[in-house]
């Protein structure tokens, strides 16, 4: 419950940290098998982020056009990934090894995106300036597709990588609205991916219920305060944590 509250609170503040922290916690701290940890985290994220989305929607901090564009890429990508994994018939040990390696790499990229976000923004603005609406729409769908594949395999990416990409694509949109849009988009994506894993029976139900008892209050409280708080210190702390976890998973 405490882990659920802490991660839920962090996600509510920044839109970052759901799969990036919860899946490694389930694997390293609670000893849950990687494939079951991913499935449990996906269902956990879909329910938790529904609570955060409600609060962000009430505060009018969701851009639904961004959510729609991301979902247009991520939902088909998630479905294709689930079908591919099913038809490949990979055994449990191989899936666990694949998830662990993908998770470690995804966490490293997530940490890099968090630490380099100010530099990325400056470089992007200097090189590309303002991108047309049509190009922005196309890039957003592509970002959604990449997130769909990554999240379905490892449950990581929707937060930090998604938020960073949205900041680059929508530089005039307030950060709190970027976070709110990212949280709202994660609801259907994690629900679809989690349901696909659930059909295979790979969810730790007891752990899921305990996490939700902590995460739902955490994300709703943090979502209410999100418009008032800076995220720089949180971003750096989270990035350093992810680097350590990534190293633990890969080596």
Nearest to 207 by CA among 46, 21, 30, 24: 30
pLDDT value, residue 204: 78
Region 126-143: mean pLDDT is 81
Which structural domain, as residue segments, surrounds residue 123?
2-250
Statement: residue 14 has pLDDT above 80: no
Give the mean pLDDT of the chain. Answer: 81
pLDDT value, residue 213: 92
pLDDT value, residue 163: 77
Statement: residue 160 has pLDDT above 70: no
Band of residue 76 on the pLDDT scale cut at 50, 70, 90: very high
pLDDT value, residue 247: 78
Instruction: Report the number of distinct structural domains present in the chain.
Output: 1
What whole-number distance in Å separates Cα of residue 188 and Cα of residue 32? Answer: 24
Structure tokens at 182: 């990212």
C-alpha of 14 from chain center: 11
Region 233-238: mean pLDDT is 66
Nearest to 20 by CA among 194, 162, 136: 162
- Top pLDDT among 93 and 208 is at 208
Contact (Cβ atoms closer than 8 angstroms) between residue 192 and residue 42: no
Side-chain-facing half-sphere of 112: CA atoms under 13 Å? 7
What whole-number distance in Å separates Cα of residue 166 and Cα of residue 69? Answer: 11
| Lowest-pLDDT choice from 5-19, 49-63, 147-161, 179-193 | 5-19
pLDDT value, residue 235: 66
Dihedral angle of Cα 30, 22, 188, 232, to the nearest 10 degrees: 170
What whole-number distance in Å separates Cα of residue 75 and Cα of residue 80? Answer: 9
pTM score over 0.75: yes
């Amino acid at each position: 419950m405490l882990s659920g509250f802490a991660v839920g609170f962090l996600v509510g503040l920044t839109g970052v940290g759901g799969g990036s922290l919860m899946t490694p916690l389930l694997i390293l701290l609670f000893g849950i098998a990687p494939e079951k940890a991913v499935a449990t985290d996906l269902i956990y994220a879909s329910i938790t982020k529904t609570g955060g989305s409600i609060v962000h929607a009430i505060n009018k901090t969701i851009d639904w056009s961004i959510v729609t564009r991301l979902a247009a890429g991520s939902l088909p990508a998630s479905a294709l990934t689930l079908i591919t994994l099913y038809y490949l018939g990979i055994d449990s040990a191989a899936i666990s090894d694949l998830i662990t390696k993908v998770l470690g790499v995804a966490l490293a990229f997530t940490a890099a995106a968090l630490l380099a976000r100010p530099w990325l923004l400056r470089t992007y603005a200097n090189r590309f300036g303002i991108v047309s609406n049509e190009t922005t729409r196309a890039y957003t769908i592509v970002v959604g597709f990449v997130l769909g594949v990554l999240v379905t395999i490892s449950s990581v990416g929707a937060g930090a990588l998604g938020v960073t990409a949205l900041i680059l694509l929508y530089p005039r949109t307030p950060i709190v609205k970027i976070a709110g849009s990212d949280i709202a988009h994660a609801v259907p994506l994690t629900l679809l991916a989690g349901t696909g894993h659930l059909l295979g029976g790979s969810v730790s139900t007891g752990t899921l219920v305990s996490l939700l008892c902590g995460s739902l209050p955490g994300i709703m409280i943090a979502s209410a305060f999100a418009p008032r708080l800076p995220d720089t210190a949180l971003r750096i702390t989270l990035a350093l944590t992810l680097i350590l976890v990534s190293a633990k998973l890969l080596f």
